[in-house]
Chain A
Amino acid sequence: MNDLNFFQFVASRSDELIGLTVQHVQITGLAVLLAILLGVPVGILISKNKKVRSPILGIANVFQTIPSLALFGLIIPLLGTGYVPSVFVLFLYALLPIIKNTFIGINSVDEAIIDAGRGMGMTSKQILTKVEIPLALPVIMGGIRISTVINIGTATIAALIGAGGLGEMIFKGISMASNNMVLAGAVPTALLAISVDKLLGMFETKLTPEGITSQKDNQV
């Protein structure tokens, strides 16, 4: 097998690689999606409610600091192995950047704009949906981007607890001392991360309201 070069190896295993990539995308995608569903509302909540701010950010920080390898290990007694615990751990990892960025995005909206809105007679909900969220959207999107890119990398470790994905190829490669195999897992992972980052970047630009985009252009 060592006679094959990398490209030949990839070509010979293309079906398997595509399958693993799809699996990889599924795991990270679901984890990030869940993290958005929880993280954005929590981020908004802590921007409004100072009391819960530091405990929530504290907890989210803790999950971020535990080494991912350890966290995958720790989850086994609780949720076992396979798809569900993997997604759960990745979800925990994705949470902090999303919560933090949502909080920062909402919190950094100019106080004068909120004051004007309130003084004109907008309700808190209208201020949130018509002013704060649109203005914070680029920052929130930035958080989602960071989470996703980190998660694509971390998801390779999830293969350890049987989640599948490109990590499987890497670990197999390590145990078989096959560089080609390790690379066949690592290179698509890196490419996936880069392309998803680009894609989300484009999405971020698209979501940025026009009035703010041109403002940034002017500042350059």
Chain B
Amino acid sequence: MIELVNITKSYDGKTNVIENLNLHIDKGEIVVLIGESGCGKTTTLRMMNRLNDPTSGTIMIKGEDYTKISKIELRRQLGYVIQKVGLMPHLTVGKNIEMIPELKGWDKKKRKDRAYELLELVDLPPEDYYDRYPHELSGGQQQRIGVARALAVNPDIILMDEPFSALDPITREQLQKELLKLQDELGKTIVFVTHDMDEALKIGDRIAVMKDGKILQYDTPEEILKNPANEFVEYFVGKDRLWKSPEMLNANDIMHKSLVTVGQKRSPAQVIEVMKKKDMELLFIVEKETSKPQPPIGYITRKNLKEQEDHKVKMSEICNKDFISVHQNANMVDVLKIMEENEIRYLPVLDDDKNLIGMITTASILNIITKAVAVKEEENK
């Protein structure tokens, strides 16, 4: 949808604010540009609607070189929302939203219908708000109008430059949620600039971490958190960030990967032996004891085995086949909930093909917490 190729930007002809930047944004994605002030994130955004022009490089929008259409035409195809909102104070809310439709020559009824529809969309009852003036509204309400205005002529792409940064935390969170909801309904392509990592993680499908006019890492929030490309990204994300956002941790990250399983043909005595050796209370039964992941058949506990009198019986016959499992992408919050609700201490983790790939135990969760504490202590020093 948006493609930046070898973009370089210099304001004074000497120092490059943006250097050889490449960025590809897919349709329907929310891409967050993040970095400290002066990293070039806003400049990058403003080049997309030609409020700044790149010194060299090309920008393609919807597959076409964007210099082929006029700046004005281009900007009307891209919604634009800024931190300071920038509503026209001398115009009513309705007239603000209708500004571009009016310039485009829409008739009065069509304009008004659209404004009503958009006010509805941003949760401001049109009957109450259409005729009000911007200064009568709170910051959060003003920015809702800002978003509605950006959507007025139904652009496919919306550029947002720190739209929620000036709002109080509660309003900000509310608007972030609404933006995601809006995105679900409308499926726009959104480029979002922020300096707030929490915000980036919350709303971004992909995040581009920028420094000194370059993109250091362009990845999903999970990847940025778990595999920061370098020290700066790690520092910028905050080392303890992952532990602060349990919804970003999934079963895959918490589970024990060195898995002990036993084949279905083993006898009780053999299984007890394994349990003793590995110091385990419970084992999962699979078809064959190979290193290849396979579906679990059931589980057996030490207590089950001790009560077993028939020493020749196979595991497949006596194991408990009724067990709870989670998918590897289930997040930590869900995992903890499942374990608590079902009062279990062992939770098998399955991949897409229902193969057993790991085990979450109280010990593995404890491990995660210990790591988080260690990171915290390190930071406090």
Contact = CB atoms under 8 A, between A and B. Distances in A.
A138 to B, nearest CB: 10
B87 A113 contact: yes
Interface string A100-141: 000000000010111111111111001000110011000000
Contacts of B71: 121
Interface residues of B, number: 31
A214 to B, nearest CB: 6
A67 interface: no
A120 B100 contact: yes
Given A117-B86, A123-B72, A215 B80 contact: no
Contacts of A122: 72, 99-100, 103
Given A112-B84, A115-B86, A122-B103, A211 B91 contact: yes
A211 B92 contact: yes
Given A210-B133, A211-B133, A214-B133, A119 B49 contact: yes
B381 interface: no
Contacts of B88: 113, 117, 130-131, 135, 211
Interface string A202-218: 00000001111011001
B312 interface: no
Contact of B86 (A113, A134, A209, A215): A113
A116 B135 contact: no
Given A116-B85, A119-B51, A218-B135, A212 B90 contact: yes
A64 B341 CA distance: 85
B10 to A, nearest CB: 21
A120 B89 contact: no
Interface of chain A, main secondary structure: helix
B266 interface: no
With most chain A CB atoms within 10 A of its CB, the pick from B49, B80, B83, B92 is: B80
Given A112-B82, A215-B133, A120 B149 contact: yes
Given A118-B51, A119-B49, A123-B72, A212 B89 contact: yes
A218 B134 CA distance: 13
B76 interface: yes
Interface residues on A, range: 20 to 34
Nearest to A116: B86
Nearest to B77: A121
A210 B90 contact: yes
B133 to A, nearest CB: 4
Given A120-B80, A211-B134, A215-B135, A110 B86 contact: yes
A115 B149 contact: no
Contact of B80 (A116, A130, A209, A212): A116
B75 interface: yes
Contacts of A215: 89, 133, 135
A113 B85 CA distance: 8
Interface in B57-78: 71-76
Interface in B156-185: 159
Interface string A144-170: 000000000000000000000000000
Interface of B: 49, 51, 71-76, 80, 82-92, 99-100, 103, 133-136, 146, 149-150, 159
Given A121-B72, A122-B100, 4 more contacts: A122-B103, A130-B88, A212-B89, A215-B133
Nearest 10 A-B pairs (CB), nearest first? A116-B86, A209-B90, A121-B75, A112-B84, A119-B80, A121-B76, A211-B133, A112-B86, A215-B135, A211-B90
22 contacts: A113-B89, A114-B86, A115-B82, A115-B86, A116-B85, A116-B87, A117-B86, A119-B159, A120-B76, A120-B149, A121-B72, A121-B75, A121-B100, A123-B72, A130-B88, A209-B90, A211-B88, A211-B91, A211-B135, A214-B133, A215-B89, A218-B135
